[in-house]
Structure formats: C-alpha cells, structure tokens
Amino acid sequence: MDAPAKTVQMNLLFDLYGQLLTDRQREIFILYYHDDLSLGEIAENIQISRQGVYDTLQRVEQALLDLERSLGLLAKDQRRNQTLRTLEGLLREMREHVEHTQVRDEVLLRCLKEAMDAVEELMTE
C-alpha cells in the first residue's frame, strides 16, 4: 500500500477507533497524521525519543488494524455507503423514467423523492 493510501486508511480507522487508544497514542497519531510532523519534531515536542515515537506509531497502527479485523466497522461502513450510492442511482433512474412517461404518476414521484431524500440523509450521517 502506498503512503497516501495508508494515510487515508489510518485516518479512517482513527475516526472509528481513536477513542479506544490512550491519550498519548492519540496525541502522537494526531501530530504525525493530522499535523504532518516528522518523528523528530514529535519527539522534541513531547520529550521522548524518536524511537519512542516510531514504536508508538507502529503500535497504534497495529491496534487500529487489529480493531478493524475484529470489529469490521470500516468495511461495514464502506459496504453501506456503496449500497446507498447504488440505491440513489437506481432511484434517480426511476424518477427520470417516471418524469418522462406519457402519464405522470405524482404519487410515485413523491414516493421516489422521499426515498431519495432518505438515502441522501443516510449518506451524510
């Protein structure tokens, strides 16, 4: 996995599981992944060795991956979002079809709009 993809994955996992880490682990993760500080800069800021920062980051990354393997919340969320995108596309296609038919069914159009609004609401949660 390349560095940008790893960063994205770690940030997604941190969003889901970050509260399960210690305060120190969260602090180091944020300084490295969010604030883009180097290991040396983090070590200097929090008064530990560069190796200590590196070791902590390795433990945090492994802990996040282990949590995902056990709980699978990220995978479930990604599957849910893909299903919602598919559903949104199907609803949009159905609405366009109904809007362009000879006899417009206003009840069906209203139901499709409500379903699309519900999908959109779920997608923004």
Q: What is the CATH number of the domain that holds 12?
A: 1.10.10.10
Helix/strand/coil for 20: helix
20: Cβ–Cβ under 8 A, 6 or more apart, which residues? 63, 67
CA–CA separation, 114 vs 100, rounded Å? 19
Residues 46, 89, single domain; the answer is no
Check whether residue 60 and residue 90 sit in a common domain.
no
Q: Which residue has the higher pLDDT, 101 or 68?
A: 68
Bigger pLDDT: 5 vs 112 = 5
**Residue-number span of the structural domain to which 46 is assigned:** 3-71
User: What is the CA 25 to chain-centroid distance, rounded?
Assistant: 20
Q: Are residues 58 and 115 in the same domain?
A: no
Express each pLDDT in 36-82 by its tens digit.
999 999 999 999 999 999 999 999 999 999 999 999 999 999 998 88
Q: What pTM was estimated for this model as a whole?
A: 0.74
- 56 and 14, same domain (yes or no): yes
